Amino acid sequence: MTSSLLVYLIAIPLASSALLMLLGRKADKWGHVLGTLASATSFALGASLFFQMLGRPAEERAVTQKIFEWIHVGSFQVDAGLLLDQLSVSFVLLITGVGTLIHIYSIAYMSHDHDRRRFFAFLNLFIAAMLLLVLGDSYLNLYVGWEGVGLASYLLIGFWNQKPEYATAAKKAFVANRVGDLGLSLAIMIAFTTMGTVTFAGVKEHAPHVSTSALTAMGAMLLLAATGKSAQFPLQSWLGDAMAGPTPVSALIHAATMVTAGVYLITRSNFVFDNAPTAQLLVIIVGAITLLFGALIGTAKDDIKKALAASTMSQIGYMILASGLGPVGYAFAIMHLLTHGFFKAGMFLGAGSVMHGMNDEVNMRRYGGLGKYMPITAITFGLGYLAIIGVPPFAGFYSKDKIIETAFNAGGTRGWIIGIAALLGALITSFYMTRVIMMTFVGNKRWNEHAHPHESPFLMWGPMALLAVGSVASGFILSSGNRFVTWLEPVVNSGHHEHEELLQPAVVTSLALQQ
């Protein structure tokens, strides 16, 4: 099916961003309102398209739109086109839904910043670029959004670039991502030289007939691209320094936009990896290493934002690992990505709320006992904590534990190795996240006389409360009746796979919670 509405998903926040930057100081008084309304309008349009999609048979749910003819050289033709299917609409709702809540939060969080209007312009640009990334119908269209996300992250991480260390952090993220972007460029070149096409539909059609070596090379380059954007080993070093940006930026990067792009790329390219077992194995190895590495880093951080950043690295590692486990693994990877979007955004905004009440202090050794002064922040953050460590019936119980179970079910020695790695990562996660909770909200106060902790205003805790609801309910909603696996079947070619269940999710959770 075709639709003329898809372009507006991107055009609305992009137009808002351009207007806010062009008008400059003239828009200072109302720029934050326009930026928030633009994101909310894209969410409303995305939700409308989603419900329309639900009303059609599974095989007819994909919607396309040709915007214009982009490249036409000989027999090679690429249109500027968009594709909305079961995978991309899941990302659209996450990006615009969580993104809008972060916009609302930012109205209060950035209220005293002289450049709040410019901040919202950059947020809108980030949303628009990520939407183009997930809606493009070819690797070239995706690449434009991919680079747009890199630009927006550079602008937002270095938003307070009057501080040299913040400008350096932005440059570090930008350079590390350029390394990954080289991988995506080479993958596109391999697709063009071996298949004569760079559209997803064209590559999917030709992949079974292309040599395994070519597909392995393309898969390896796609994985390199994913390691850059999603801060996976060995290109993970930029993520901790990226905490230099305002806290709402951290929430947006970690929950709804930049670091989720690598998981999307691998899942969208499932037809490449399914025909290249070596590349698929590399995906599993990178995911397993990163989920353990990130978890270990999280145990050593006293900076609350950097501890959460290490947590993101580890949780994205779970998603990358799952995407290397075949058809069902793709669905569990995206399901964990969606539930992670709720609880990680909620915890980052909770960290921002703590900083707001503690004069921007980020060292958890100078917190302690804040639960009695910030009860709403403590409760919403605590619900996200229960979700990430996989306590039933919270979201992580239904998503991360399914990844661990699928890892064990991979069979043979490989299955046990990656299953034990994933289970060990869950155990370490429960340790360092409990450490964050205890050091911040429990125990005796450790702050000085200049700190006056207090609860944040409604515009900040309101979005945190809504995200906390997602931390509680999203896993059950997505997993009920195997709903999400069935939803993604037309995209990832997943069927019903019988397998022996070695460990039930409840058993996995119980083991991980044993401290």
State the CB neighbour count (10 A cutoff) for residue 293.
19
pLDDT, position 414? 87
Model pLDDT for residues 77-108, shown as the tens digit of each residue: 899 999 999 999 999 999 999 999 999 999 99
Tens digits of per-residue pLDDT, 27-80?
Answer: 999 999 999 999 999 999 999 999 999 999 988 899 999 999 998 888 788 999
Question: 47 versus 505: which is more confidently predicted?
Answer: 47
Q: How far apart are CA 229 and CA 114, in angstroms?
A: 30
State the pLDDT at residue 495. 43
Query: What is the predicted pLDDT for the residue at 308?
Result: 96
Neighbours of 412 (CB within 10 A): 7
The answer for 326, left when phi > 0, alpha when psi is -120 to 50, beta otherwise, is: left
H-type alpha helices, 110-158: 116-135, 139-157
CB count within 10 Å of CB 69 equals 11
Average pLDDT, integer, range 487-513: 57
Higher pLDDT, residue 449 or 104: 104
| Angstrom distance (rounded) from CA 376 to CA 374 | 6
Q: Shortest CA distance to 319 belongs to which of 236, 421, 399?
A: 399
- Cα separation of 275 and 63, whole Å? 26
Q: Bridge-partner residues for 136, per DSSP?
A: 82
230-287 per-position pLDDT tens digit = 999 999 999 999 999 999 999 999 998 999 999 999 999 999 999 999 999 999 999 9
* Rounded (5°) CA angle 318-320-323: 110
Report the residue count for the chain: 515
Short-list 462, 251, 470, CA closest to 344: 251
Q: How far is residue 462's CA from residue 466's CA, in Å, rounded to a whole number? A: 6
Does the pLDDT of residue 500 top 50, yes or no?
Answer: no
Burial call 144-172: b when 16+ CB within 10 Å, e when fewer: bbbbbbbebbbbbbbbbbeeeebbebbbb
Lowest mean pLDDT among 69-78, 183-192, 383-392: 69-78
At 329 the pLDDT is 93
Residue 507 pLDDT exceeds 90: no
Task: Tell me if residue 243 falls in helix, strand or coil.
Answer: helix
CA distance 263 to 319: 7
Q: What is the pLDDT of residue 332?
A: 96
pLDDT at 504 over 70: no
**pLDDT for position 290:** 97
pLDDT at residue 498 tops 60: no
Residue-wise pLDDT tens digits, 283-313: 999 999 999 999 999 999 999 999 999 999 9
Question: Residue 63 in contact with residue 3, Cβ under 8 Å?
Answer: yes
pLDDT digits (tens, 9 = 90+) for 193-219: 999 999 999 999 999 999 999 999 999
The pLDDT score that the predictor gives to residue 412 is 83
Residue in 236, 326, 346 with CA at minimum distance from that of residue 284: 326
Range of weakest confidence among 168-172, 472-476, 505-509: 505-509
Residue 506: what pLDDT?
45
